[in-house]
């Protein structure tokens, strides 16, 4: 890719670009509602962000197990050919051959032969990255597929519907004005003919919203806000944030969407938003067809510390049959809710760091800063999605050992779409003392009993957990680290089975898995390239590349 055009205003332009090469190699497989519903049970597909509507991050395929792990081989590497990081969890449509859809930095996506890594077509919309306001950085966590289309959720809040076989644009719909602070990085979810997604921008003075779009036409079915005027004083709801960073999960039996919402805005000064700041830092259940609220539970009222519930929820029924919604977050506990009404059934033992001053509010000015506080604004859990295994009956949380020093400031509402994270004179209303980043003292994977919240085992890592996890039917749990390492862990006891260092770039993406009956192999795809807050520490983003491993049955 050629170097971007950087103007004096800080705008970086990429694209547009479109190339098609070998579309006759893409089998005509209609991605129906039935195929989407079966995704969590179908070993041959990975159609949703977490391999099924419920967000389990689990595949029933057991070819990769604790015995065959030694036979795992690197099948191929696909170079995404963009800078700016790589956070995708690739989408895989079954067929002969199976077809993969992946998206790299600057909204550049491609269709690949998932068996060989051969690029079949490529598409990139005009990408205008305004470097002075976008918190997004140019990342995306994936694309969605439905019938004969693939859907790209561009950073500037435009949804592109492309012909799945050729990459040609069918329609596009912009959902917000990005110059007002909105952006999107999450993978959209397709449900009952609709694209469902939330919008980010909580550090830029926006109102948290979620949207459903007709997948055939691009028409907006509904758009609703997580926060409302009757619960927020003095118009504070208009800049109150409560945005949805991550892809939601869905329980098809009840037509319920479960969301996790972010911090209120401004981040570090609650004086200008008195009250609990309802529905921020919450788990929220809505009706899939109307968007109406079913229930919510606010985990952290009036957050002063930027402790978003950034990680996506997960819905599962453990061995006792009780349908639960699991929620990890920067707060450093796993909450377990009754999926029907939001009642708290259990709160887990803590993970990550928790200091005695964890709920002390930051003061104004460095002399009143709260110091060595944990969880930090990196958690707890950041965006990394957890996993669930019905085989082991365990929930796998991902935590970080980090601390920070915070200070509050008076927000400048005229600067709400300006500046970088941590500005003391910007909209966020404070930030990191002297702009010193949180400590990075490693991370951990924790297996929890879903009925009691007790720890079963812990696996500590040398780097923060930013990638998300995947569990195979053969009891292998896979995570990536910003230290360019991929770890394969025994899901039954936390023992390290194997590590790979081919990534040569930070791993900040959750893996995908599929089984190819023609080759009789299970494949594991892991995106490396970095992204998010990790890029601001000592693990800068690098040109992305996709590592695809395989093991034969």
Per residue in 266-298, pLDDT (tens digit) is 999 999 899 999 999 999 999 999 999 999 999
CA dist 321 and 310 (Å) reads 27
* Residue 260 CA: distances (Å) to CA of 78, 209, 335, 441, 504: 32, 12, 12, 26, 32
Structure confidence at residue 31 (pLDDT):
98
Mean of pLDDT over the chain: 90
407, β-bridge pairs: 431
Q: Which of 358, 407, 352, 354 is nearest to 380 (CA)?
A: 352
Q: Has residue 51 got a pLDDT over 50?
A: yes
Q: Which of 363, 218, 216 is nearest to 304 (CA)?
A: 363
**Whether this model's pTM surpasses 0.85:** yes
pLDDT tens-place string over residues 117-166: 999 999 998 866 554 444 546 788 999 999 999 999 998 889 999 999 99
Among the residue ranges 130-134, 179-183, 373-377, the one predicted with the least confidence is 130-134
Q: Has residue 389 got a pLDDT over 70?
A: yes
Q: Which of 306, 299, 302 is nearest to 326 (CA)?
A: 299
pLDDT tens-place string over residues 61-94: 999 999 999 999 999 999 987 776 899 999 999 9
CA dist 426 and 40 (Å) reads 43
Higher pLDDT, 31 or 203: 31
- Return phi, psi of residue 292, to 5°: -70, 150
Higher pLDDT, 194 or 229: 194
* Residue 507 CA: distances (Å) to CA of 204, 414, 480: 27, 36, 5
CA dist 365 and 183 (Å) reads 31
Give mean pLDDT, residues 496-521.
Answer: 95
In angstroms, the first-to-last Cα distance of the chain is 38
**Ranges of each domain in the chain:** 17-552
The domain covering 17-552 belongs, at the CATH homologous superfamily level, to Quinoprotein alcohol dehydrogenase-like superfamily (2.140.10.10)
Q: Has residue 417 got a pLDDT over 50?
A: no
Structure confidence at residue 4 (pLDDT):
35
CA dist 41 and 35 (Å) reads 10
């Amino acid at each position: 890719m050629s170097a971007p055009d950087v103007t004096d205003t800080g705008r970086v332009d990429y694209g547009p670009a479109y190339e098609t090469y070998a579309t006759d190699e893409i089998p005509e497989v209609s991605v129906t509602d039935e195929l989407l519903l079966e995704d969590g049970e179908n070993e041959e597909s990975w159609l949703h962000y977490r391999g099924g509507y419920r967000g389990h991050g689990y595949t029933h395929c057991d070819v990769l197990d604790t015995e065959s792990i030694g036979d795992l081989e690197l099948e191929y590497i696909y170079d995404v050919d963009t800078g700016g990081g790589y956070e995708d969890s690739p989408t895989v449509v079954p067929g002969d051959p199976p077809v993969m859809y992946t998206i790299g930095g600057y909204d550049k996506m491609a269709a690949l032969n998932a068996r060989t890594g051969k690029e079949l077509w490529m598409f990139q919309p005009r990408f205008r990255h305004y470097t002075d306001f976008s918190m997004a950085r140019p990342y995306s966590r994936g694309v969605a597929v439905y019938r004969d289309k693939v859907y790209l959720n561009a950073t500037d809040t435009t949804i592109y519907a492309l012909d799945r076989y050729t990459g040609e644009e069918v329609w596009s719909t912009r959902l917000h004005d990005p110059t007002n602070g909105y952006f999107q990085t999450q993978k959209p979810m397709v449900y009952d003919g609709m694209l469902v997604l939330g919008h980010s921008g909580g550090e830029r003075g926006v109102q948290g919203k979620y949207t459903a779009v007709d997948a055939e036409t691009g028409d907006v079915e509904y758009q609703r806000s997580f926060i409302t005027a009757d619960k927020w004083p003095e118009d504070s709801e208009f800049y109150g944030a409560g945005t949805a960073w991550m892809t939601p999960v869905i329980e098809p039996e009840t037509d319920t969407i479960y969301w996790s919402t972010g911090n209120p805005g401004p981040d570090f000064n609650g004086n200008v938003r008195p009250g609990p700041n309802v529905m921020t830092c919450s788990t929220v259940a809505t009706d899939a067809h109307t968007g109406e609220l079913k229930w919510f539970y606010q985990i952290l009222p009036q957050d002063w510390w930027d402790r978003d519930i950034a990680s996506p929820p997960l819905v599962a029924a453990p061995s006792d049959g009780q349908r639960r919604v699991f929620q990890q977050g920067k707060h450093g506990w796993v909450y377990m809710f009754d999926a029907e009404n939001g009642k708290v059934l259990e709160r887990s033992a803590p993970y990550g760091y928790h200091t005695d001053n964890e709920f002390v509010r930051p003061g104004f000015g460095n002399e009143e800063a709260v110091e060595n506080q944990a969880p930090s604004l990196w958690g707890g859990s950041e965006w990394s999605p957890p996993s669930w295994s019905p085989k082991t009956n365990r929930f796998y949380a991902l935590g970080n050992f980090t601390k920070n020093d915070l200070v509050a400031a008076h927000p400048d509402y005229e600067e709400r779409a300006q500046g970088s994270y941590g500005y003391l004179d910007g909209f966020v209303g404070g930030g990191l003392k002297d702009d010193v980043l949180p400590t990075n003292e490693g991370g951990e994977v924790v297996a929890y009993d879903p009925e009691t919240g007790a720890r079963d085992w812990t696996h500590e890592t040398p780097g923060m957990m930013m990638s998300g996890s995947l569990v195979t039917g053969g009891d292998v749990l896979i995570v990536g680290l910003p230290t360019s390492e991929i770890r394969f862990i025994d899901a039954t006891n936390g023992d390290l089975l194997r590590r790979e260092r081919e990534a040569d770039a930070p791993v900040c993406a959750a893996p995908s898995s599929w089984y190819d009956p023609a080759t009789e192999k299970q494949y594991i795809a892991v995106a490396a390239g970095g992204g998010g807050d990790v890029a601001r520490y000592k693990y800068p983003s690098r040109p992305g590349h996709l590592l695809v491993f395989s093991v034969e049955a």
